[in-house]
A and B are shown apart, each in its own frame.
Chain A
Amino acid sequence: MDATARVEVAEAVRPSSRVARRRVSRTAVRRNVVAYLFLLPFFVLFVTFTAIPFVSALWLSLQKGLLAGPKTFVGFRNFAYLPHDTITRTVLLNTVKYVATIVPIAVFSALGLAFLITNRYVRGRDFFRAVVYFPILAAPAAAAQIWSYILAPRFGLLSYALSALGLGDIYFLSNPRLALLSIALIEWWRGIGFHVILFIASMIGIPQELKEAARIDGANAWQVATKVTIPLMRPVILFSVVMGTIWAFQLFDTVFVLTNGGPMNSTATIVWYIYNYAFRYSQLGLAAAMGVVLLCIIAPISYVQMRVLGREIEYA
């Protein structure tokens, strides 16, 4: 009796802590399991359609072969060959030219438009904000079709208007010197709203007293804009430049619909190259290598955007 009682006491005192400990670890395990189960559907898709393809994209750039067929390992030969492919230089040059054209034009014109819309004489800001958003709604393919008629030679609205001004017939999309610019015009129309809306939000956020103070000190409107407003918008403008650059480097849809890289490769871009070399010309390795080149351009820009600007914007 005495012994069993002692055992019972011992049982009651000691193992309780053990049970508790076990219970703690069990809830910890349970907590982890619950979390993993909630993540499971997402990560199944993530591994299948992001992680595996990403690793395989890098691996493919070291191989040679057909899309559906045997592939052989060639090391860095694709990268070594890229500069010798005559079209590579054209493609890179076109893309850089396009980026260097569209980004500054978009950002400067968007700044101007944002100043215009936030002007103190303007009523109905929301209406104008909606107006600049409308072109964003169009699919690039739809925007391309819309503009292909406007830009059509002779009977196209813009061609007609310009020839009425005495500029002669303009072949926007079939002139190698104008085709990329015409594509830039369409993309400007479709994308400008993004920058304008961002800038409007930022301008409204700037304390009125700062501008007022500058005005009292004798600054004119131009000085207030360049010395007060724009410097305060710097993070947002940088964000805008970075996003515009990332998108511009990936130009494809409009080119595919309107010119398919032509005339004379004047609108062939990096992504155009990747698509065509992989899915049309069966040059899988070269296409994959060009993909890695694009990654090397985009990833650092994105990294800067996320690390530096992401934080600043949140507090802006």
Chain B
Amino acid sequence: MPSASVSLQRRSGRRQWLISLPQIVFVYLLLAGLVVLMLGPYLFIFGTAFKESYSLVKIPPEIIPKEPTLINFRKIFTNMPFGRWFLNSTIVATVSTVGTLLVCAMAGYTFAKKEFFGKRVLFAALLATLMIPGALMLIPTFLVVNALGLVDSYGGLILPGIGGAMGVFLLRQFIETLPSELEQAALIDGASELQVFWHVILPLSKPGLTTLAILHFTGSWNSLIWPLVVVNSKKLYTLPLGLALMRTEYQVDYGATSAAAIVSVVPLVIAFVFLQRYFIEGLTVGALKG
């Protein structure tokens, strides 16, 4: 049966191809449309970032700027603390990602490999929090952060973002699949629990950690509502907050907002190019976050 169909395919392959040519053209036309739809806005705004202010309001709109200029980038980096916002986003996303990896890996390892009193109840409580919408937590989390004296500080921006049931869940799933013999052998050889975790579990969990790192970093990099609530001073703004308030605080200047939007996406695009597989893996896991 398979060999018959193969030879059939081979014999009629050429003619088949000719017959289906219109279909192929049609399919690729649709795909070209898809590419334009998905990437077009980015490319158009990329071009816009290089437009002089007078060409922003031209009718018909310029797709490719006739006299490209760097003035918009100069504007956002000198008239606005955009460089500082970029730095803030980098600090907040990096610290909160590293913290999350550490605490979630420790907890995930424990739930995956250890037996202890109250394990099931704790894990169920953890899972239950996945059902809570973030907006419900906005006010009380603000009050907690306020009570800790962390409003309008890096601590207030970063600390509530560290951890999360989703990270524990993801890493527990991953660590469960690792063979227990390795850690037992290390323990028998006299390694401490912490050494086993650090030198055996963590290196083996790299794929799971990478997925979680990307998920958490992009989430933190892109998040708007928490920085909006917890930060007042302009020097503590993160990129999304700066981007959002550019409209109200500065007159709408599409050249500047375009430059800012493009710069804010670039780090993630670069990461995506190199780590595509983990980004796509994280997509389905991240869906759990609710």
Contacts and interface: CB of A to CB of B under 8 A. Distances in A.
A135 B35 CA distance: 11
Contacts of A152: 254
B87 interface: no
Report whether over half of chain A's contact residues are helix, strand or loop; otherwise say mixed: helix
Contacts of B223: 139
A157 B44 contact: yes
B137 A53 contact: yes
Interface residues of B, number: 99
Interface residues of A, number: 94
Contacts of A315: none
Contacts of B247: 145, 148, 257-258
Contact of B163 (A49, A57, A294, A298): A49
A145 B261 contact: yes
Contacts of B143: 53, 56, 67
B249 interface: no
A135 B218 CA distance: 13
B37 A189 contact: yes
Interface in B243-290: 243-244, 246-247, 252, 254, 257-258, 260-261, 264-265, 268-269, 272, 276, 279-280, 283-284, 287-288, 290
A299 interface: yes
A140 B222 contact: yes
B139 A278 contact: yes
Contacts of B185: none
B174 interface: no
B246 A145 contact: yes
B261 A274 contact: no
Most buried by B among A130, A135, A139, A299: A139
Nearest to B145: A49
A92 B289 CA distance: 23
A119 B27 contact: yes
Interface string B143-163: 110100000000000011011
A42 B59 contact: no
B129 A150 contact: no
Given A35-B116, A53-B144, A139-B264, A294 B133 contact: yes
15 contacts: A32-B117, A39-B106, A42-B163, A42-B168, A48-B144, A54-B136, A54-B140, A137-B265, A141-B241, A149-B254, A156-B61, A256-B224, A298-B290, A306-B130, A306-B288
Interface of A: 31-32, 34-36, 38-39, 41-43, 45-46, 48-54, 56-57, 60, 67-68, 113, 116-117, 119, 121-122, 128-142, 144-150, 152, 154-157, 160, 164, 189, 193-194, 197-198, 201, 239, 243, 246, 249-250, 252-253, 256-258, 270-271, 274-275, 278-279, 284, 287-288, 291-292, 294-295, 298-299, 302-303, 306, 313
